[in-house]
Amino acid sequence: MEQKQNSPRNLMKEERVAFIDKRLAQLYPKPPVPLDHQDPFTLLIAVLLSAQCTDERVNQVTPSLFAAADTPETMAELSVEHIRSIIRPCGLSPQKSKAIKGLSQLLITQHDSQVPRTFAELEALPGVGHKTAGVVMAQAFGHPAFPVDTHIHRLAQRWGLTRGKNVVETERDLKRVFQESRWNDLHLQIIFYGREFCTARGCDGRVCEICTTCYPLRKHPKKISKP
């Protein structure tokens, strides 16, 4: 018996990459930075606060923080206790308040009060890891970067873009399959899509448009390697 034409099949990797790239660009053609900020310094602080905290909560907290201090000079003048009292709703406030004051002081003494424009210098600041540095490099300075958090790591695995066991490996794999000119937007587009359609509880790899288009034959939930 002849096989039926146009029967469903899982997409090959190149096909998945092309579909995901095109579909995300259609859905979110000009993705905004979800963290409210005015300049590289306020973006740096907002990204630091977003660790293990929702962007929505950060945006509720930063107006009060930036009203008290929105430059390295004014932030360095605040006590750790004062900063902590404002940012407490974001969680991890003891560590984050110390990091905010410490990095503000270092920006003054080592960087002429300017946020540095290299990964090495950013990651040398208190509380600033590779993902935070990547967001600042991409969204403040337009430098090609592909910051990967646990959210993007999960979706990349569901979509068959990586077998990475951690965010570092996933970042490497995503940079290999997508054009460098798309990295900055894709970072945001994947985040927005995940929040809207491919949430941790709303899609297990068999529900949303991207998952079902890439893997129409998938029968079981996609198991994710946690970073």
Catalytic machinery residues? 131, 149
Q: Which residues of 168-207 are buried (b: 16+ CB within 10 A; e: fewer)?
A: ebbbebbeebbeeeebbbbbbbbbebbeebbeeeebbbee
Show the tokens assigned to 224: 């994710």
Please state, in angstroms and rounded to a whole number, the distance separating the CA atoms of residues 40 and 65: 15
Please state, in angstroms and rounded to a whole number, the distance separating the CA atoms of residues 193 and 216: 19
Show the tokens assigned to 202: 């709303």
Judge contact between 198 and 44, C-beta under 8 A. no
